[in-house]
Structures are given as C-alpha cells and as structure tokens.
Amino acid sequence: ARNIIDTQEARNIIDTQEARNIIDTQEVRNIIDTQEARNIIDTQEARNIIDTQEARNIIDTQEARNIIDAQEARNIIDTQEARNIIDTQEARNIIDTQEAQNLIDTQKARNIIETQEAQNIIDTQEA
C-alpha cells in the first residue's frame, strides 16, 4: 500500500512539474508575443516618423518652388517695368527730336522770310 501511495505521490510530483513546465512555456511565449508586438509598434512608429519627414520634405520643396516662382514673377515684372521705362524714354527722345526738327523748320522759314524781306528792300531801293 505504501508503494502505491509513493507511486501516486511520485506521479503527483511529475504532474505538478509538467503543469509548471506548461505554465513556464506559456509565460515564455507570452513574453515573446509581447516583444513581437512591441517590435511591430516600434516599426510602425519608425515608419510614421519617416512618413512625417517625407511629408515635411514635400512641403519644404513646394515652399521653395513657391519662393522661386514668386521671384521669377518679380523678375518678369521688373523686366516689364524696365522695358516700360525704356519705351517711355524712346518716346521722349522721338518727341524731343520732333520738337528740335520743328524749331529748325521754324528757323528756316524765318530765314526765308527775312531773306525775302531783304530782297524786297533791295528791290525797292533799286527802284
């Protein structure tokens, strides 16, 4: 009878140990699963950081393009204003040339009149 009891106790000890081993195995698996879940979260967070940086780079690139576009627009405006100034100056030069020509023409007409008047005086004197 003692042998049966001893055998049963030995079996109980073995069963307890096997149960503990199953629990330990499960705990190890839980630790591994937790670590894998953390790794997935860390990977996702790293991807989010990369995505955020890429989005910032796109925004920075667009802002740089906007600055360049604005500068190019200013350059076009400045060029047009410079052309307008040149065109205005050329128009003034044409007007000044025309006015000078008018003065010359007026002076020539006066000279012709004065010459004619002098000739008339000479003709009258001779008569």
| Mean pLDDT, all residues of the chain | 97
Please give the helix or strand (H or E) that residue 51 lies within, else none: helix 2-126
Please give, one letter per residue, the 3-state secondary structure of 106-120: HHHHHHHHHHHHHHH
**pLDDT average, residue stretch 44-52:** 98
pLDDT value at 31 more than 90: yes
**What digits encode the pLDDT tens for the residues 61-96?**
999 999 999 999 999 999 999 999 999 999 999 999
- Over residues 52-64, mean pLDDT: 98
pLDDT band at residue 127 under the 50/70/90 scheme: confident
The Cα–Cα gap between 51 and 58 comes to 10
Q: Which residue type does 78 have?
A: D
